[in-house]
Amino acid sequence: PGAYNTPEGAKSYIRGVGGNLSQILDIDLDSKISGMMNDIDDVSDWMTSQAEKLQASNIKVICMAWLRTFIESVGYNVVSTYNPPETLSANDITSLIETAQNEGVSLIIDNLQIDVEFGAEIASQVGAEHVVLTNFPGAIPTTETLSKMFRYNAEQLFNGTITWETTSALRAEK
């Protein structure tokens, strides 16, 4: 139980699984565990720095529910979430659109392993940027470890934010 898709959650699981494997297999995994923890700390520090530069806490997002803990750990303001699209009613979808419009949502964030079209449709209707994150290491090239997956996902958030800000500025000039 618990979130593995945040830096702190991942470190907890690395300690637990690594410690259990060390005991059960009677091998010393301390250096491997330490290396993984350092990688997580490095990417966490980078994410925090980038999020502060972009003032992510001021960026309102709607995301697939299973991504919420990661997105909030990066520093974004999650105003609403949605479950897998096939479970949503027409009222649920209408409510998401209204929330996005009323809150001035910047990003709509889908989970690659669930659906990537649902968020794109909502984003196009409300003028938000669509972002797709992955929940599993290795699902996308260069994401073979949790730390690399965190970096990839954070880059998607940061790039989406920059694109949304640029697009919004261009719209304002018209």
Rounded average pLDDT over 97-115? 96
pLDDT tens digits, one per residue of 16-69:
999 999 999 999 999 999 999 999 999 999 999 999 999 999 999 999 999 999
Answer yes or no: is pLDDT of 104 > 90: yes
At 170, the pLDDT band (50, 70, 90 cuts) reads confident
Query: From the centroid of its chain, how far is CA 172?
Result: 28
Q: Give residues with Cβ within 8 angstroms of 29, minimum separation 6.
A: 18, 21, 22
Answer yes or no: is pLDDT of 109 > 90: yes
* Residue in the structure block whose two tokens are 């001021």: 58
The pairing of beta strand 129-133 with beta strand 60-64: unpaired
Task: Identify the sign of the CA torsion 85, 88, 89, 95.
Answer: negative
Nearest alpha-carbon partner for 31 in 48, 50, 18, 47: 18
Answer yes or no: is pLDDT of 1 > 70: no
pLDDT tens digits, one per residue of 111-165:
999 989 999 999 999 999 999 999 999 999 999 999 999 999 999 999 999 999 9
Nearest alpha-carbon partner for 97 in 88, 166, 56: 88
Are 118 and 110 spatial neighbours (Cβ–Cβ below 8 Å)?
A: yes
Are 100 and 108 spatial neighbours (Cβ–Cβ below 8 Å)?
A: yes
